[in-house]
Amino acid sequence: MLTPEQMRRIEPYFPLSHGMPRVDVRRVLSGIALVIRNGLRWRDSPSDYGPDKTIDNRFIRWSRLGVFNRILAELAAQGGETDNLMIDATHLKVHRTAARLLKKGLYPDVLDAAEAD
């Protein structure tokens, strides 16, 4: 799981809860990271991280709201200038259904960049 210090750094970027208290954000975010890092299906996530449907729904909702984009941009800005630049040349074959993610609006920055060209 994410450490309390890591969570404190990124907590301001998550939307506030409206109504019922939500499942622990730290636990769900750790589940999202585990699923993505290991290439798991949402339903294969360990129950320690909360219900798989909750993890899936939060990932979709937060992606649409641009939460992850804001977190990565802010953490990169805090890092300052670097002397090294690394490029990952990994090539992955994507399943044909992955194109639906763009249509569902999960990657709005990609669509905005394509429309700008």
What local confidence, expressed as pLDDT, does residue 66 receive? Answer: 92
Residue 115 — pLDDT band, cuts 50, 70, 90? low
Query: Quick one: average pLDDT of 5-29?
Result: 85
Lowest mean pLDDT among 56-60, 65-69, 77-81: 77-81
CA 5/CA 19 separation, integer angstroms = 27
Answer whether residue 90 shows pLDDT above 90: no
Say which amino acid occupies 26: R
CA 33/CA 80 separation, integer angstroms = 24
Average pLDDT, the chain: 81
Query: Quick one: average pLDDT of 22-44?
Result: 89
Number of Cβ within 10 Å of residue 18's Cβ equals 6
> Radius of gyration (Cα) for the chain, nearest Å?
16
For the chain, how are helix, strand and coil distributed in percent, rounded to 5?
65, 0, 35
What local confidence, expressed as pLDDT, does residue 111 receive? Answer: 47
Task: Find all residues with CB under 8 Å of 45, minimum gap 6, and list them.
Answer: 31, 34, 35, 52, 55
This prediction's pTM: 0.65
What local confidence, expressed as pLDDT, does residue 106 receive? Answer: 62
Task: State the DSSP H helix or E strand holding residue 96, giving kind and residue range, or none if neither.
Answer: none
Query: Quick one: average pLDDT of 13-35?
Result: 85
Q: Tell the residue number behind the tokens 């802010």, with chain if given.
A: 74
What local confidence, expressed as pLDDT, does residue 1 receive? Answer: 80
